[in-house]
Structure 1
């Protein structure tokens, strides 16, 4: 066992330079079972690739005999890139499914025979057929839930016949009666087999079966691959563990890396049990603990430790206590708000301040528990003309605009155009939507940002490769697409906590931290589910490098009942357990501009977001021009359709009401209305003022 106190000589130069004592111990551990318990931000990927390189460079194993597996194509691509930088060529780094697909294609003629079955690209069509035959609902939402349940069952090695008992045993919230789900599952497998189709889980099932049932196949495979490395081992499913066992056979040349505190995919069948029981299975295993956090400031690290210290049960393998290695930073902030729109507006203002003081928008994230929470933040960021991107949708190179752009660039490359590469790329992408000025937000902004990212990638290539041409650029795009290594897109990231796993930002806002959302309502009453929600919060906290803000709102909508309570996970974390009055004061301090505004009718200070926008207290009399408001809404609808954005991206209802009440006569009067800045004045100011001047 190697802990923080371990002593080791770190070479001043060479491939092992810069490794801390614990990382060095993991890298230099002998062949055989090795378990690296790696906390968030402790350099686990660096440790993995250096261990692989060390084993190869010292002659313990040939590069072609190494198979490293992880859970995302991007992580596998990053691992391959780092291995190449260390002079390692030939080692395999893939996802479980990609590795299984490669093996299954190779062994198919011997274990199955005949033409290879096609891989099912999206299972909803077959699930729909199965649901119809079984008498279940076929609405899109129902089909997605049924598909998720089938995926859980297969990942958990549960057959259709076993599903009802297994679902009851683990307390699954089945989307339909368990016998009906089992029937859908049974028909799904039947339809799939009849059409000679495989889904992603079948890749793993058939690979394991090929090795278990065909000794000659197993012998050939095990002669080829002799050293295995598994990243994110806390997320392994029973099905993936079965494949790993088949790969290993009776051997033990296995290195696993994981953190039980980051187990957040139990709903998909993942379990930290193989990680926690590793030393029981391999009593002679070398165990190394990585606890030096190089990602976050000591203040963020301290909060992360306190989140997990309150856990009800912490198995020995999860008791990692991070030690921050970065310079001191700001304390995490906590804030309570009257309602979600006010919370979102305050977060957007703080983001604007960070951007104004030099933090790139791409280094800022707003993280929430469920995707439905994003709307308020999309609107608040749009109000301040802050670009944003929603993570968790299509992968960068799978997006329609990126595929269209790549096709156009490839066609153009055939004619070998001459000139500066970035200029050529920009001109080719202009017809696809790369305008001189960016759209405000939403899908249109995402498209524009994707195209701009392609131009920036061209600039990067031109700066590193002298004389780079369009053909070389297209080849670079193809390589990145295969490796799932997209360029950085400039914009604030909006993402669920699950989608944020494995990522990090300079500034992170954890929002909507109320009971019923964090922990999620359906977790209540299940201790294991509640503890997974705590780990999800821990993952969110450890995404922040320097700035971390946690907030919650007492009501959902403006003026709604203040019947929410802050998350139970926050008790004991907030300094001195802030009273509501202190939190209210912190909220006002976070929005000085809003607090300084006065009601134009009675002169009282305006705090509420809508009151700030209207320029008056909610109870003060209003001089609203109803006919003007109708005309403003009609104009907004036309502009939103033309820009292909939601109406609120142009102006919110509250902004239109403020215009119809105050009826400004010049640009100065228009920008005096909260939410109308220079950018919106440039885009819409002349049209709005013209509409105001033309009113009866």
Structure 2
């Protein structure tokens, strides 16, 4: 059914712009749309596989009769008038856009709904003829068996996605102990996470039949846990656990002391990004004296770095990065101690080798120098942690340090269906800097991955939730689904739509609400002050965006009391600031009262352009962060704002979503059967029957920063972005659905260059 009644007016989907569909959809959820024939409530269907249409909530109603009646009774409309919007951004220009539509022909492009498109021209499936070998009641294919039994000298195991590397590592460890009679205490097994270490131990007992005593003797864990035990054993007073800076707020407290010496605004400086950069420097073995800052940002962070290291040394403190650096220097400074460890450990097994960083690699190289029995397992196509200092070069150039290394490639994917594997192969082979390999699937379900084309982020989220509900109705479980995205902010609409549904879902514990982001919170503060001119918390954020010191707040409070005026009115009366600042305040103070009476989208643009917030974002919105930019946050907020008529509606929505985010992180801890919301980075190592990848457009994946690097002649960031997409695709077992929105952040988007060949 293409026609229905909303607010007493006929809606004809043939005459409504595509960007109105989400508003109509939400009106249907709130029972505001009815059928003009039977009078019952109807909803707008926004799914992936069928065209948008109205449908009756009651299944016993004859929709065909109602549809025929609506088509014949209500003639096509020549003009549709919906709430106006201000502009649409295209190629850097803001183009005024009216929503008074004169004829259906003029909006053909905006209402064009595209059929989902399957990935085709894939190679035919042929079942692998890899012979199987029996070991410990496990079936190992020939490549896996070779990786398990090649125990002498350096060995590089290239383990493609889904190739059973955990099984190989477990079997190899058991083979060393049970067949080669290697003492467990002489084996070091390094995993990427503590969870992986626990899982490995459980498998060694359950599958390999090792005794708890043997497991206890085996040295296994993450680099941090193993190296920390070493330094704590030899220098217990220096490495007492009570001196560990375990939380970011503890580290921030120290660097904020240094920030005061630089007179940096504590509310505005990106301390989290500064700590990340400091961690990167430490993991790449760059002490402060070796760093040559590239810009003012790095100069400031270098000052914080020096202060941070000196203050830790003064108080005997250390952080997690120091565990790695400290162990490396311990061995360099005490060669006799190093020799003892080299003699003790005869075999080394390193998991997720593609994600190793310089300090980890150099330390392992020292330890394994005597025996050279170093087995490393990884996949250079899944190296995605460059921001932490991880470098696939150590894997790509392994033979330079170990010329006699044996190389075994695990090329059989036991996780994903043939068409998913074949599609992922086509994506990743475009990377130039990689080890040549081709993964083969162990089964074929005949279901090709496909693309779908929502209008924007809002519609994208709605269509995915609809599709998940349909699959659950057909027998799937919520835990079968994962929705993957490039950055946390990309999940905003997805979170809101899932919160609106009755579907159980889980999100990452460190994913804060989009509305708590610094720039978003700062802009929303203007709207809060328009409703309550004495909101001191909001005023604190506004002072920062006006480049005023926080101590001005005391003056404002005093003026407010003495002159019996609001805190906003007091802004006009401040005298101990520069004349140009006084002039600016006199201009913008009257605007606060106007904000609340305009539409949210208009209010945001007024704050941005007329009240000077854009200038603040330009100077402070991007500092230290190549991934998330303040201007992007504003565009994301505008997408939300377009759905509401009044400022208070937007503020109520924000409050509700912030509360929901906090509540869901608590509740979802206890969910065992729930849809997963994950960044691609966090999805690594996981697998799901059904995977959705959202926002597959240039600027999202590949990210803008990688495209900027490419323009500057750097290709590696773009190759890592392609590896990210490869990782996302290979999380899927049975079905893979990739979203290519037509609009992103109110701008016309372009399909990711990684998928253009498929389209």
The answer for the alignment partner of 2:394 in structure 1 is 274
Q: How is 1:382-401 mapped onto 2 (pairs within 5 angstroms)?
A: 382-391=499-508, 393=510
Q: Would you say the 8 A contact 1:16–1:50 is kept in 2?
A: no
- Once residues 269 and 209 of structure 2 are traced to their aligned partners in structure 1, the CA distance between those partners, rounded to angstroms, is 48
Correspondence for 1:337:
454
- Map of 1:293 onto structure 2: 413
- Of 96, 107, 113, 2:234 maps to 107
Runs of 4+ aligned structure 1 residues displaced above 6 Å come to 4-7, 112-117
Question: CA offset at residue 444 of structure 1?
Answer: 2.8
Distance 1:211 1:107, change over 3 A: same
Q: Is contact 1:32–1:254 with CA below 8 Å preserved after alignment?
A: yes
Superposition deviation, residue 442 in structure 1? 4.1
C-alpha separation in 1, matches of 2:239 and 2:421: 56
Q: Provide the residue aligned with 1:10 in structure 2.
A: 133
State the distance in 2 between where 1:28 and 1:389 align.
Answer: 40
Secondary structure of 2:139's aligned partner: coil
| Deviation (angstroms), 1:134 | 4.1
* Per-residue deviation, 1:114: 9.6
Alignment of 1:548-563 (within 5 A): 548-556=736-744, 560=746, 563=748
> In structure 1, what is the Cα distance between the partners aligned to 2:720 and 2:458?
28
Match of 1:527 in 2: 715
Equivalent residue for 1:500? Answer: 683
2:252/2:271 contact within 8 Å kept:
yes
Distance 1:218 1:384 in 2: 58
Other-structure match for 1:565: 750
When the two chains are superposed, the root-mean-square deviation of aligned CA atoms in Å is 2.4
What residue is the counterpart of 2:157 in the other structure? 36
Matches within 5 A, 1:113-132: 118-122=243-247, 123-132=251-260
3-state SS of the aligned residue for 1:24? helix
Matched, 1:444 2:642: no
Give the aligned partner of residue 349 of structure 2.
229
Do the aligned partners of 2:161 and 2:413 also contact (CA within 8 Å) in 1?
yes
SS at 1:490 equivalent: coil
What SS does structure 2 have at the residue aligned with 1:271?
A: coil
CA separation of 1:370 and 1:394: change in aligned 2, threshold 3 A: closer
2:124 paired residue number: none
State the 1:445 CA deviation: 4.0
**1:253 to partner: Cα distance:** 1.0
> Which residue, out of 165, 173, 190, partners 1:69?
190
* Aligned residues of 2:132 and 2:141 also touching (Cα < 8 A): no
Could you tell me whether the CA contact under 8 Å between 1:392 and 1:499 is conserved in 2? no
Label 1:137 to 1:227 Cα distance change in 2 as closer, same or farther (>3 A). farther
Contact 2:412 2:440 in 1 (8 A): yes
**Aligned partners of 2:128 and 2:442 also within 8 Å:** no
C-alpha distance 32-142 of structure 1, shift in aligned 2 (>3 A): same
Q: Is the 8 A contact 2:190 2:351 kept in 1?
A: yes
1:293-692 map, 5 Å: 293-311=413-431, 313-315=432-434, 318-391=435-508, 393=510, 442-451=661-670, 453=671, 489-524=672-707, 525=710, 526-556=714-744, 560=746, 563-573=748-758, 577=759
Q: Distance in 2 between matches of 1:361 and 1:128?
A: 43
Report the Cα offset of residue 49 of structure 1.
1.0
SS of residue paired to 2:162? coil
- Tell me what 1:183 maps to: 303
Offset of residue 164 of structure 1: 2.0
Cα distance per residue 1:85-119 (max 9 Å; x no partner): 2123232220000001111111115xx77977721
| Pair 1:116–1:72, CA change in 2 (3 A) | closer
For 1:232 and 1:264, locate their aligned partners in 2 and report how far apart those are by CA, in whole Å: 11
Query: Could you give the per-residue CA deviations for residues 269-317 of structure 1, whole angstroms, max 9, x where no partner exists?
Result: 1111111111222222221000100000001101110111222x133xx
Measured in 1, the distance between the counterparts of 2:419 and 2:694 equals: 19
The 1:73–1:133 alpha-carbon spacing in structure 2 relative to 1, beyond 3 Å, is farther
For 1:54, the equivalent position in structure 2 comes to 175
- Within 2, Cα distance between the matches of 1:134 and 1:196? 24
TM-aligned CA distance change 1:98 to 1:140, over 3 Å = farther
2:199 to 70, 73, 78: 78
Asked if structure 2 preserves the Cα contact closer than 8 Å seen for 1:509 and 1:549, the reply is yes
Deviation, 1:146, is 0.4
Deviation at 1:65, TM superposition (A): 1.1
The yes-or-no answer on 1:193 pairing with 2:313 is: yes
Q: In structure 1, what is the equivalent of residue 382 of structure 2?
A: 262
Question: Tell me, what secondary structure is at the counterpart of 1:191?
Answer: helix
Q: Name the SS for the 2:340 alignment partner.
A: helix
Deviation at 1:496, TM superposition (A): 0.9
Q: Are the aligned partners of 1:293 and 1:325 in contact in 2 as well (CA < 8 Å)?
A: yes
Q: String of CA shifts for 1:619-666, please: whole Å, max 9, x gaps.
A: xxxxxxxxxxxxxxxxxxxxxxxxxxxxxxxxxxxxxxxxxxxxxxxx
| Shift in CA distance, 332/114, structure 1 to aligned 2, threshold 3 Å | closer
Decide which structure has the larger Cα Rg and report it: 2
Question: Can you list the C-alpha shifts for 1:224-255, whole angstroms capped at 9, x where unaligned?
Answer: 32211111111111111122123223330110
Gap change, CA 1:8 and 1:506, over 3 Å in 2: closer
| Matched residue SS, 2:168 | helix
How far did 1:7 drift?
A: 6.9
Any unmatched runs of 5+ in structure 2?
1-126, 513-658
TM-score in terms of structure 2 length: 0.60
Task: Go from structure 1 to structure 2 and tell me whether the alpha carbon gap of 1:156 and 1:115 turns closer, same or farther (over 3 Å shift).
Answer: closer
1:26 to 135, 138, 147: 147
| Residue 250 (structure 1) aligned with residue 370 (structure 2) | yes
Secondary structure at 1:177's aligned position in 2?
Answer: helix
Q: Taking structure 1 as reference, are residues 95 and 77 closer, same or farther at Cα in structure 2, changes over 3 Å only?
A: same
SS of residue matched to 1:518:
coil
Q: Tell me, in whole angstroms, the C-alpha distance in 2 between the residues paired with 1:206 and 1:384.
A: 50
Contact 1:133 1:187 in 2 (8 A): no
Contact 2:418 2:445 (C-alpha < 8 Å) held by counterparts: yes
> Where do 5+ consecutive residues of structure 1 fail to align?
169-173, 396-439, 454-488, 578-696
Q: Distance in 1 between matches of 2:665 and 2:298?
A: 40
Equivalent-residue separation in structure 2 for 1:184 and 1:116 (angstroms): 24
Following the alignment from structure 1 to structure 2, what is the Cα–Cα distance between the partners of residues 129 and 61? Answer: 52
